[in-house]
Structure 1
Amino acid sequence: MTADDHLPGPVAVLANPTAGRGRHRALLPQLLERLAAGGRPVRLLPVSSPAEAEAVCRAAVADGAGALVAVGGDGTVHRALQAVAGTDVPFGPIPAGTGNDFALDVGFPADPLAAAAVIAEAVRDGRSRQVDLARMVGVDGAERWYGAVLAAGFDAIVNERANRMRWPRGPSRYELAILVELARMRPRRYTLRLDGVPQDMDAVLVAVGNCPTYGGGMRICPDADPTDGLLDVVVAGPVDRRTLVRVKPRIYEGTHVRHPMVYSFRARTVELAAEGITSYADGERSLELPVTISAVPGALRLLR
C-alpha cells in the first residue's frame, strides 16, 4: 500500500505537551527533526487546549495535509483519528503519553524517537498499511471513531466519577473514584445485539475492543486483532466486588477471560444498551448508551 497521493502535502503534527505528565515535552524539537528526515515539510499544528485539537486536525486534513502525526497518549491519538478515519490520509502515532495502547498494539516502538524514525521512513518510502477502526453511532446520530477499546461498564463509571471530582488532583483522584464506585458497585442489565443476535445479561464490566489493550497495557480484549474486520466483546457477569478486585489484576496478562464469569464474543456489529452509562473510547469520554459499534476494515492507513 502506498501513500504517494498524499505525500506532496506537509506532515501535520498534533502534539500534546502535557501528555505523560509532560515527561516528553523536551523531546518535541528532536521528534520534529526526526520526522523531517522523511523528506516532507513538517508543520506543527497550533493547539492551545485539548478541545481545539480535533478541529485543528480536521482543518489540517481539509487543507491538504499529506499525513497526520499525533505526539501524545491515547487521548491525543483519539482526537486525531476523528480527522483521518475513513480517509486516505496516512497517520502515525508517536507514543508519549501515560497510556499508549493503540500505538503499541499496532506495532509502533514504545520509544518516541524510534517511533518517529519509523514514521519518517514510511513517509520517505511512500509506504502505509491499513488497519481497522471501530465506528460508534449514538441514538441521535452522533458518530465517533476509536482505535483501541470502548469501556462501558465499571471502568467507564469510574472515569465518569473521576472527571466530576475536583479533589484530589493527579492519580489519587482516580484511585479515590475506584474506591467510591466499588462501594456502590452493582450489576447492571445490558442489552447486546451481536450481528443482530440478542444477548441480554447482567454485568459489571463490558468492553468492546478493536485492539487488545486499554488503561496503559491492560489486555482487556486479549484476542482482539485490528486487521480481522471484527470486534471483540468481553463481559464480566454479575460478580461481587471482592471477585472483581481479585480478577482485575489478571487483565494485564489477559488471563481474566478464563474466569467462569467472564464471557467473550466476536462480531462485526455490536449494539449495546444500558441505563445510565456514558462510554469511554480510547480513555476519552464518548457517547451515552445505547450505541451501535461497527468494525470498519481498513479505515486507517498507518505510516509503518
Structure 2
Amino acid sequence: MNASLSRTRSVAVVINPTKFPDFAGTKARVGAAASRLGWDEPRWFETSRDDSGVAAARSALADAPDLVCVMGGDGTVRAVAGVLRGTSVPCGLLPSGTGNLLARNLGIPVDSLDDALEIAFLGQNRAIDVGLATFDDDEERVFVVMGGVGLDADIMAHTDDGLKKKVGWGAYVVAGGATMFREGFGVTLSVDGEEHTSHECLMVLACNCSSVVANIELATGAKLDDAQLDLVVLRPNVVAGWLGVAVEVAAGIRNGAASLRQWSGRDFGFQLDRPVLAEIDGDPVGETRAGRFGVDPGALIVRLPVPARLGRS
C-alpha cells in the first residue's frame, strides 16, 4: 500500500503493556508503520492493574485523535469500545491475547501485527452494533461480542491464565470439561416483549456475531451490523447427552428437539430461579438472578480491510 498522503493524521494507542513482552520494540514497530503510512507519531495510553482501559481510552479520546487503536485482549477492546461508542472516532484493532474475538469476526489478522496496522491506518470505516447488558446491580455494561449467564461464564471463570498462554484455546476446553456437568437452572425469557419459558437450561448467551469462541459458529447467521442480537439457549440433552450438544453446535442445528434454541431480536429479558454466574466478552462479572440484553445499532466505528467483510457467508 502506498502512503503518499497530503497530510499527516493523529493516532492514539490504548495498550495493555502486559500483553507485550518487548514493549519498547512493539512501540517502535507501530511508530514506524505510522510514519510510513502517513500518520503522526502515535500517542500512547497504557492500561494498568486498576484500569482495564476505560480511563486510558478517555484520556486518548480527550486528545482529539483521528483514530484510536487498541492493543490488548478482549477486555481492553471492550473498555475502549465503551468509550468510543456513539462518537465519530474510529477504532483500529491491533490484536493481542488468546481470544481476539471481535478481530476474528471482522476478518482482521490476529497473527500479523504488520497486516493489522495496515488495516488500521489504511482501511475503511464501518459502523457495527454494540451490545448492552444489565444484571442484578442495574449497571449497564457494554459488550461487542457476547454476554451471558451459565456455562459460558463458568468456563471463563475457571480457565487458567497460565495454561491459556501456553495452549491457547485448549485452556477453554480443559475448563469446559470441568464445568459442563454442572446442574442447570430454570429461566423465563422475553424476546422483544414476547415471553418464552424453558424449564431448565445450562446457558443463556446474547451474541452480537456468529463466532464467539474457537471459531465455532454458535450463533448461526448473527452479524455485527444487523441492528439486533441473537440469543442462544443451551438446554440439557437428556437423550444424546453432551455428544448430542456437540453435534448440534458443529452442524449449526438450531431450534431442534434436543439442546439449542436461537432467537433474533433487539431486547431480551431473563429471570432465573437461582443466582448464576454472568459474563461479558469472556470476563465474569458476578452472579445474577435477572437481567436484560439490548443493542445499540451502529454505535461503534471500526477500521476494516478493503473490501470489508462482516459476519460469515
Aligned residue for 2:216, secondary structure, equals coil
1:45: which partner in 2? 45
User: Is the alpha carbon distance of 1:62 and 1:277 closer, same or farther for their aligned partners in structure 2, counting shifts above 3 Å?
Assistant: farther
Q: How does 1:194-233 map to 2 (within 5 A)?
A: 194-201=191-198, 202-233=200-231
2:179: which partner in 1? 181
1:238: which partner in 2? 236
User: Is the alpha carbon distance of 1:182 and 1:27 closer, same or farther for their aligned partners in structure 2, counting shifts above 3 Å?
Assistant: same
Q: Distance in 2 between matches of 1:250 and 1:17?
A: 40
Once the two structures are superposed, residues 124-179 of structure 1 have per-residue CA deviations (whole angstroms, 9 ceiling, x without a partner) of: xxx5221111112334431111111223221212323447xxxx942487566434
Aligned residue for 1:14, secondary structure, equals strand
Output the amino acid matched with 1:31. V
Aligned 8 A contact 2:227 2:296 in 1: yes
Deviation at 1:288, TM superposition (A): 4.4
2:261: which partner in 1? 263
Output the amino acid matched with 2:103. A
Number of aligned residues: 287
Deviation at 1:219, TM superposition (A): 1.8
Deviation at 1:230, TM superposition (A): 0.9
Aligned residue for 2:46, secondary structure, equals coil
RMSD between superposed Cα atoms in Å: 3.1
TM-score by length of structure 1 reads 0.81
Q: How does 1:1-304 map to 2 (within 5 A)?
A: 10-19=10-19, 27-36=26-35, 37-49=37-49, 51-110=51-110, 111-122=112-123, 127-162=124-159, 169-171=162-164, 177-183=175-181, 185-201=182-198, 202-239=200-237, 243-245=241-243, 247-248=245-246, 251=249, 253=250, 255-257=252-254, 260-261=257-258, 262-274=260-272, 275-286=274-285, 288-289=287-288, 290-304=290-304
Name which of structure 1's ranges 234-243 and 287-296 shifts more when overlaid on structure 2.
Answer: 234-243
User: Is the alpha carbon distance of 1:24 and 1:179 closer, same or farther for their aligned partners in structure 2, counting shifts above 3 Å?
Assistant: farther
Q: Distance in 2 between matches of 1:77 and 1:254?
A: 30
User: Is the alpha carbon distance of 1:28 and 1:191 closer, same or farther for their aligned partners in structure 2, counting shifts above 3 Å?
Assistant: farther
Q: Distance in 2 between matches of 1:173 and 1:108?
A: 23
Structure 2 unmatched runs, 5+: 1-6, 165-169, 305-313
User: Is the alpha carbon distance of 1:187 and 1:260 closer, same or farther for their aligned partners in structure 2, counting shifts above 3 Å?
Assistant: same
Higher share in strand: 2
TM-score by length of structure 2 reads 0.79
Aligned 8 A contact 2:191 2:265 in 1: yes
User: Is the alpha carbon distance of 1:276 and 1:23 closer, same or farther for their aligned partners in structure 2, counting shifts above 3 Å?
Assistant: farther
Structure 1 unmatched runs, 5+: 1-6
Name which of structure 1's ranges 279-288 and 186-195 shifts more when overlaid on structure 2.
Answer: 279-288
Aligned 8 A contact 2:17 2:47 in 1: no
Deviation at 1:29, TM superposition (A): 2.7
Aligned residue for 1:102, secondary structure, equals helix
